[in-house]
Amino acid sequence: MTAVRRLQLLALAALPLTSCADHQSVLNPRGPEALQLAQLSWFLFAVCTFVLVVVVVAAAAAIRGPAGARAMLASPRAVVWAGIVFPAVTLTGLLICGVWLTRAAAVPADEPGALRITVVGEQWWWRVHYPHPGGTVATANEIRIPAGRTLVFALQSADVIHSFWVPNLGGKVDMIPGRTTYLRLRAAEPGVFRGQCAEFCGGPHGLMALRVVVLPPSQFEAWLEAQTRVAAEPSSPATRRGRDLFVAAGCGACHTIRGTPATGVVGPDLTHLGSRLSVGVDTSPVTQANIARFIRDGQHVKPGNLMPPFRIFAADDLDAIAVYLAGLQ
């Protein structure tokens, strides 16, 4: 294999990395906490590279070097200084540096002025609640946040251990059943980032992703206000039929659409499904066709998810439900 060919292969192997370079990458920090983590990573990387070079040079000298160098490396003094004192000092230094750099993320859970968002990890999706004096704001698999404001995420789990991780914005924090963990972070500017459950949680763990949409503060307030409203009354005969079918088919046993008899809490709240970016936990964009496909054939879209397949609907009934849901802005 020629060197050129080897390089080509290496470049090819690295291709998947470039696909996350933008919206799901620790190397592209978009907030102060993420920046600190990136700086810490680079610093650690530099120190480790330095240590590696020293070790390789010392090993080479110990095998092939002049007799004087070999004797020096074998002396008790070298073992004490290079084998005990140097690692102890370096590691202590790195620890201090790490604690110093990540101090900002250590959480006062009740920081005044911070926006508090509860995220519950469930098999295999994210339940999201916003505190709001105007009413409940419940969404799923998508978190909208204002740029520049400090956020405190209260992280919980409904079943097994999950891990909340949005690499562009901050570190990884486990969601542990029976307790609440916290993550404080800030997004510097508007953008859309991708998060991913980072602790294997069974079945479709790999598809347990979420979107974080960072909005300018005024847009965020408008969005939050819109989310507190109950679902709009269907305005066309098709959407009315969709709503009636949704209720009669028992969808409300698991899903809530505020303002209708559907009040289930087993699955995600669908009150404003049409305003979200994706259906089936970030597996496909919110369109009428994708909603219909998930209802009928969700086990192929996201294998192992807890929603049974609803193949009972005639094609036009399924379309009516999908039209209704896609229109829930």
Partner 1 sequence: MTTAAPGRLATMAVWTLASMAGLALALFLFAWSGLYNVAASRGHWAVVEWLLAFGMRNSVELRAMPIRAPALDDPDLVKLGAAHFHGGCAFCHGAPGIPVSPIAQQMLPPPPELATSMRPWKDEEIFWIVQHGIKYTGMPGWVALERADEIWAVVAFLKRMPQMSASSYSELALGSVRSASQDGKALATVESDPQSTGACARCHGAEADGPTSALVPRLHGQPAEFLATSLRDYASGIRRSGIMQPLAAPLDSEDIRRLADYYARLSPLKQHAAAPDKSLLERGQQLATVGDPANGVPACNTCHGREALARYPRLAGQSALYMTGQLQLWRAGHQASTDGGAIMAPIAQRLSDRDIAAVTAYLASVAADPAATGRP
Residues of this chain that interact with partner 1 (CB under 8 A) are: 158, 245, 247-250, 252-254, 264-266, 306, 308-312
Q: Minimum distance from CB of 156 to partner 1 (Å)?
A: 13
Distance CA 165, CA 209 (A): 9
Distance CA 278, CA 329 (A): 13
CB of 183 or CB of 257, closer to partner 1: 257
Q: Minimum distance from CB of 57 to partner 1 (Å)?
A: 59
Q: Minimum distance from CB of 80 to partner 1 (Å)?
A: 59
CB of 133 or CB of 308, closer to partner 1: 308
CB of 212 or CB of 325, closer to partner 1: 325
CB of 111 or CB of 159, closer to partner 1: 159
162 by Cβ neighbours in 10 Å (0-12 / 13-18 / 19+) ranks as: buried
Q: What number of other Cβ atoms are within 10 A of residue 159's Cβ?
A: 14
- 3-class SS of residue 215: strand
CB of 211 or CB of 255, closer to partner 1: 255
What are phi and psi for residue 139, nearest 5 degrees?
-140, -175
- Whether 263 and 327 have beta carbons less than 8 Å apart is answered as no
Distance CA 249, CA 75 (A): 81
Q: Minimum distance from CB of 133 to partner 1 (Å)?
A: 26
- Whether 185 and 117 have beta carbons less than 8 Å apart is answered as no
Q: Minimum distance from CB of 21 to partner 1 (Å)?
A: 37
Q: Minimum distance from CB of 236 to partner 1 (Å)?
A: 21
**Do strands 151-157 and 115-122 pair parallel, antiparallel, or not at all (unpaired)?**
parallel
CB of 104 or CB of 306, closer to partner 1: 306
Consecutive H or E run containing 232? none
